[in-house]
Amino acid sequence: MLGIAGMRWSINVGRISGIALRLHVTFLLMLLVIAYQGYAMAGGRGAFWSLALICAVFTCIVLHELGHSLVAQKLGVEVRSITLLPIGGVAALRTIPENPWHEIAITVAGPMVNVIIAAVLIPIAGLPRHLFIVEWPANLLGLLNTLVGVNLWLFLFNCIPAFPMDGGRLLRASLALVIPHRRATWIAATVGQGLAILFFVLGLKYSVMMIVLAAFIFIAAEGEERMVRTRGMLHDIEVEDVMMREFATLAPVDTVGRGLEQVYQTGQDDFPVVVDGRLLGMVNRQTMLEAVNRGGAARMVSEVMDASVPVVSPRQKVSRVYDAMLGDGFGSLPVLEEGTLVGLLSPDNISRYLLVQSSIKPGRRVPSPVAGQTPPRPPVIATAPPTAAPPPRAESAPPPGRA
């Protein structure tokens, strides 16, 4: 499977070709359950061969994901991680390419790996007796035989034309060769949901697992469709159309304690650290809380800030920035024009934009301003008051009636 965002609750276990390999905690739980079942059926030997089979199966799944990943890397798409879940693996790409040929190449590479593994193993271990029943092996030959079946099954399963399976992606990319990408996604998602309903009905008659699969496919189709719709909405706008122009900044000499006061006084979680209009870095709530909990409330924010935070330009497409934000775990990015801080772009800005746009009826939508035609608005940047002085109550003129 392919996705964009990484998974929480995952443990790094190593790197292959620069790609982090991660195990989701539910995967480790599954290993325990399988080992227990194997033990219950056939004692220590049963537990050993059950675990050996599972490890072999997941090695095949890693190879499948590596098939996607290596082709993606060849096509210039960065691969963040491969995460193993009980239901399979997910290769998280930085972006899903919008060039349909690239998407086809990346998608096909995964299932082809399973075909190759099966083709290599069949001369050694032969074809499995049943394709849809996993036989728990009692020796190495049995294990290889089962593995042939598993790889054929993985191939067929991934060919189901429904997101998040590779077949869904392949269907979308093939359609996108002749019709627009968004329309292609809509059709592929609808086909997937149709199949999900079919699996649900069949599941009622035959197997609970099919009902689970149906729910899984139904939700994934909706997610993919929403993601593409979201990206489409963000395609036409630039950073300056959604960025915050009014926000608080911190001075490098402000204390962490002072910075944390700003968290509740301004409602911001991320603060640019600025001296004379020049950006030095960013500091966020989490970093400052960690510093305070280690007894560093009096430390200067310049000591804890992130000085290597990526910056964006006001004219950058929001869709590009959004992918990076999703993958890097949601933080605000400073917007710089000719070296000067002019805005702050937070994930919240983007979600609010999407909320507004998706709530307006299509006919009533305000067209987004064409680049270069936006009337220039000066940024209003409120600097946090110096550490020593008490924060002023209001920025307006003193109330009348007082000298």
| 21, 59 Cβ separation under 8 angstroms | no
* For Zn ion, the closer CB: 110 or 168: 110
Q: With binding defined as CB under 5 A, does residue 272 bind Zn ion?
A: no
Q: Which range, of 108-116, 125-133, 232-240, 313-321, touches Zn ion by CB under 5 A?
A: 108-116
User: Quick one: tokens of 35?
Assistant: 């080992």
Strand partners, 21: 14, 82
Q: What are phi and psi of 366, to 5 degrees?
A: -80, 125
Q: How far is the CB of 321 from Zn ion (least distance, A)?
A: 27
Contacts for 235 with CB less than 8 Å, ≥ 6 apart: 317, 319
* For Zn ion, the closer CB: 170 or 196: 170
Q: How far apart are CA 77 and CA 325, in angstroms?
A: 16
Question: Taking Cα atoms as reference points, which of 310, 347, 316 lies closest to residue 240?
Answer: 316
Q: With binding defined as CB under 5 A, does residue 110 bind Zn ion?
A: yes
* For Zn ion, the closer CB: 72 or 256: 72
Q: What are phi and psi of 19, to 5 degrees?
A: -105, 130
Q: With binding defined as CB under 5 A, does residue 103 bind Zn ion?
A: no
* For Zn ion, the closer CB: 70 or 250: 70
Q: Which range, of 14-22, 38-46, 116-124, 161-169, touches Zn ion by CB under 5 A?
A: 161-169
Q: How far apart are CA 285 and CA 291, in angstroms?
A: 10
Q: Which positions from 136 through 155 interact with Zn ion, judged by CB under 5 A? A: none
Task: Tell me the number of residues near Zn ion by CB under 5 A.
Answer: 2
Q: With binding defined as CB under 5 A, does residue 3 bind Zn ion?
A: no
Q: Which range, of 92-100, 105-113, 306-314, 319-327, touches Zn ion by CB under 5 A?
A: 105-113
- β-pairing verdict for 2-3 and 88-93: parallel
Sign of CA dihedral 42, 89, 152, 203: positive
* For Zn ion, the closer CB: 110 or 343: 110
* For Zn ion, the closer CB: 91 or 345: 91
* For Zn ion, the closer CB: 2 or 273: 2
Q: How far is the CB of 109 from Zn ion (least distance, A)?
A: 8
User: Quick one: tokens of 94?
Assistant: 């930085």
Q: With binding defined as CB under 5 A, does residue 46 bind Zn ion?
A: no
Strands (E), 183-300: 246-249, 270-275, 278-284
Question: Taking Cα atoms as reference points, which of 237, 180, 179 lies closest to residue 365?
Answer: 237
Q: Which range, of 104-112, 305-313, 352-360, 386-394, touches Zn ion by CB under 5 A?
A: 104-112
Q: Which of 166, 225, 238, 270 binds Zn ion (CB under 5 A)?
A: 166
Interface ranges with Zn ion (CB under 5 A): 110, 166
